[in-house]
Every structure is written in structure tokens, then in C-alpha cells.
Amino acid sequence: MAVSALPVDQRVIDIDSRRFASIEKALVELITNSDDSYSRLEHAGPLISDKIIISYERHQNGALLTVCDHAEGMSFPQIHAVLSYGGAHSQMARGEAGGRGFFGRGLKQAIYGLGYGWIESVQAGMLSRVDLFRAEDGQYLFEDWDQDRPAEAQDYSRLGIPLDSNGTRVHIVVDNPQTNIPYFASLVTAITNNIY
């Protein structure tokens, strides 16, 4: 087990995550990240898939929201880079066109804003996973499971990523009592029915 504190100023991530404590902002952020990844892939050639799959499971005391794509995926070092605050990994920070992210203040804040969760990503046959959660004292922590490992057939089927594809699935456990769950459910239903 390698649980570490997020390599960012804890007060700053706290402020940022509160700003992201809304279903709309979190979903827009995750869909935008997936869409950005597809658009980078498009420049390289035809896509295996262009799907962004949103799932929503209602639970007694909250919900599980997932957003999955079959785009670039992230390597173990890349997934680590996402954890550092607004680092050089951010497309916008590098001044590249096409990225619409918010200076690297997106993915982790979307998760922390709604509760806690984990990111699983497959790239070049390797599976990386990072869990984001908070300590009892409120500290922002992550667990990286020490290293990546070869992705097995059951990982691809569990994640909903086609064999031989790369991709990312973000899981958010929505436990923030300020989040309006019934509204959240109807919003996700509307999005999944009409757009994706």
C-alpha cells in the first residue's frame, strides 16, 4: 500500500474542489477530458471507437457515477502527473490548442468535489489505477497501487473498454450531501438518452 498526500497545497485543492461540487461541472469536465483525448487521437488516424459512456448507479446513501472512453488512455507516469496541481501535463499549460481543460484543475477536483473515487486507465496493454479519497482529518490522499500491471481480458470487460483499445474510466462515489441526487439522476438520464 502506498497512500500519499496529494502533491499540492491542501488548502488550494480544498477551495478548487468546492468550486467543482456540482454534477454539471464534474460531468462537463470529464466529458471534455474524454473528448479532448479523442480529438488528439483523431489527428493520428482513425478511431477504434468514439464513444463516451456515462453510467449512474443509485445507492442507498449516494450514487456511483462513471465516465468511460476508448481514447488514448494514460500510462502510470501520466496518471501520476494528473495528481500534481496544474502541472506541465496540462494541455493549456503547455499552450497547445485543442485542450479545453482548466489548467489541470479538472479531473481530481471533479472527483473530490462530489465525494471520492478512482481512475482506471489502460494504455498499451497496461492497467494503471489511482484512488482518490480523504483522511478523517480532511487531508486529500491518493493510493497508486505501487505500479501498473498488464491488463487482463476481465479488466477490459469490467471497465467496458474493447480488447486492444486504450481508454480511461473515471469512477466517482457521490457522497457529498450537498449534491442533489434525484436531480443528478434525471440529469444523467437526460444526457445519456439525448446525447450519448
Ligand X SMILES: Nc1ncnc2c1ncn2[C@@H]1O[C@H](COP(=O)(O)OP(=O)(O)O)[C@@H](O)[C@H]1O
Angle, CA 26 vertex, CA 23 and CA 29 arms, to 5°: 145
* 89 touching ligand X, by CB under 6 A: yes
Identify residue 112 by its one-letter amino acid code. Answer: Y
Separation of alpha carbons 177 and 179, rounded Å: 5
By CB under 6 A, name the one of 104, 113, 115, 117 that touches ligand X. 104
Which range in 11-19, 97-105, 143-151, 176-184 contacts ligand X by CB under 6 A?
97-105
Judged by CB under 6 A, does residue 71 bind ligand X?
yes
- Provide the grid cell at 158: 469490467
Number of residues that bind ligand X (CB under 6 A): 21
Residues 13-52 that bind ligand X (CB under 6 A): 29, 33-34, 37
Q: Return the residue of 21, 28, 92, 181 that touches ligand X, per CB under 6 A.
A: 92
Burial class (CB in 10 A: 0-12, 13-18, 19+), 81: middle
Instruction: Report 86-105 residues binding Mg ion (CB under 5 A).
Output: 101
**Residue 65 CB, nearest distance to Mg ion (Å)?**
16
> Which of 62, 73, 106, 117: binder of Mg ion (CB under 5 A)?
106
Kindly state the cell numbers that stand for 29. Answer: 469536465
At a CB cut-off of 8 Å and minimum separation 6, what does 152 contact? none
CB atoms within 10 A of CB 73: 25
Residues engaged in binding ligand X (CB under 6 A): 29, 33-34, 37, 69, 71-72, 74, 82, 89-92, 99, 101-104, 106-107, 168
